[in-house]
């Protein structure tokens, strides 16, 4: 029995690594996954890094307003609103009052702060929790470590835009038990995929 488990582990390990690589680079090309991005310098070393991307059938100018207005108690995150926006549906229209984000502004309940911004091109968010903070809302959620989240818009032509998002995370193994990591990575992937798809639907005028 032990031998079978050992052999099974050896056989399945490469597959698990392949699946992990695929969800860490969902939608991104090899060049996009490896290229430097705004915000990479926020963390000296990242325990986890994922770069995802999507092509949007809209101009950069049409996509940017949806990026600019993102945030908790703003337009939402276009992801799973029940978990990251107090159940309030993310906006399906442009909100003029949130079109002027600035460096130093906090737009996430976990402390996500705008660290750098270049209108129509990039937005960099980051937070840092030296110790674990427990949040009692819709259950009990831990906030820990340091993270950066970068959004980069690259025009393909006048009517098509490439949106690349990179998430980097750093934390000690003391504050993040290894058993949490599979859940963290899967949750991050599902949320990122939903957000990218949500931005595309809105920018293309297909959100309802």
- Which position has the higher pLDDT, 186 or 141? 186
Whole-prediction pTM: 0.82
Spatial neighbors of 30 by CB under 8 A, at least 6 apart, are none
Question: Each residue of 130-177: pLDDT tens digit?
Answer: 555 555 454 445 555 788 999 999 999 999 999 999 999 886 555 555
Average pLDDT over all residues of the chain: 82
Distance CA 150, CA 147 (A): 10
Task: Write out pLDDT tens, residues 17-31.
Answer: 556 777 899 999 999
Percent of the chain with pLDDT over 70: 75
Which residues touch 26 (CB under 8 Å, ≥6 apart)?
A: 50, 52, 53, 189, 192, 193
Element (H, E) at 146: strand 140-157
pLDDT at 110: 67
Domain ranges of the chain: 2-203
CB count, 10 Å around CB of 144?
A: 20
* pLDDT tens digit sequence for 33-46: 999 999 999 988 88
Of the options 3.40.50.300, 3.40.50.2000, 3.40.50.1000, 3.30.530.20, the CATH number for the domain spanning 2-203? 3.30.530.20
Query: Which of the residue ranges 55-64, 89-98, 162-171 would you say has the lowest mean pLDDT?
Result: 162-171
Lookup: tokens for 124? 């960099």
Q: Which H/E stretch holds residue 132?
A: strand 122-136
Q: CA 95, CA 183: separation in Å to the nearest integer?
A: 33
Report how far apart, in Å, the C-alpha atoms of 178 and of each of 15, 55, 182 are: 19, 34, 8
């Amino acid at each position: 029995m032990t031998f079978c488990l050992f052999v099974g582990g050896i056989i399945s390990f490469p597959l698990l690594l392949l699946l992990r690589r695929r969800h860490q680079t969902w939608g991104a090309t090899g060049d996009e996954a490896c290229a430097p991005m705004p915000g990479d310098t926020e963390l000296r070393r990242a325990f986890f890094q994922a770069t995802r991307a999507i092509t949007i059938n809209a101009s950069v100018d049409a996509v940017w307003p949806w990026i600019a207005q993102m945030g908790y108690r703003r337009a939402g995150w276009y992801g799973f609103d029940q978990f990251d926006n107090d159940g309030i549906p993310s906006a399906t229209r442009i909100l003029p009052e949130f079109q002027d984000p600035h460096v130093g502004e906090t737009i996430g309940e976990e402390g996500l702060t705008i660290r750098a911004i270049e209108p129509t091109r990039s937005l960099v968010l980051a937070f840092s929790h030296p110790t674990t903070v427990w949040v009692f809302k819709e259950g009990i959620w831990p906030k820990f470590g340091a993270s950066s989240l970068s959004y980069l818009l690259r025009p393909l032509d006048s009517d098509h835009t490439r949106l690349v998002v990179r998430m980097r995370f750093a934390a000690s193994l003391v504050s993040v038990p290894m058993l949490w990591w599979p859940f963290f990575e899967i949750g991050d992937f599902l949320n990122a995929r939903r957000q990218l798809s949500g931005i595309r639907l809105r920018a293309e005028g297909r959100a309802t």
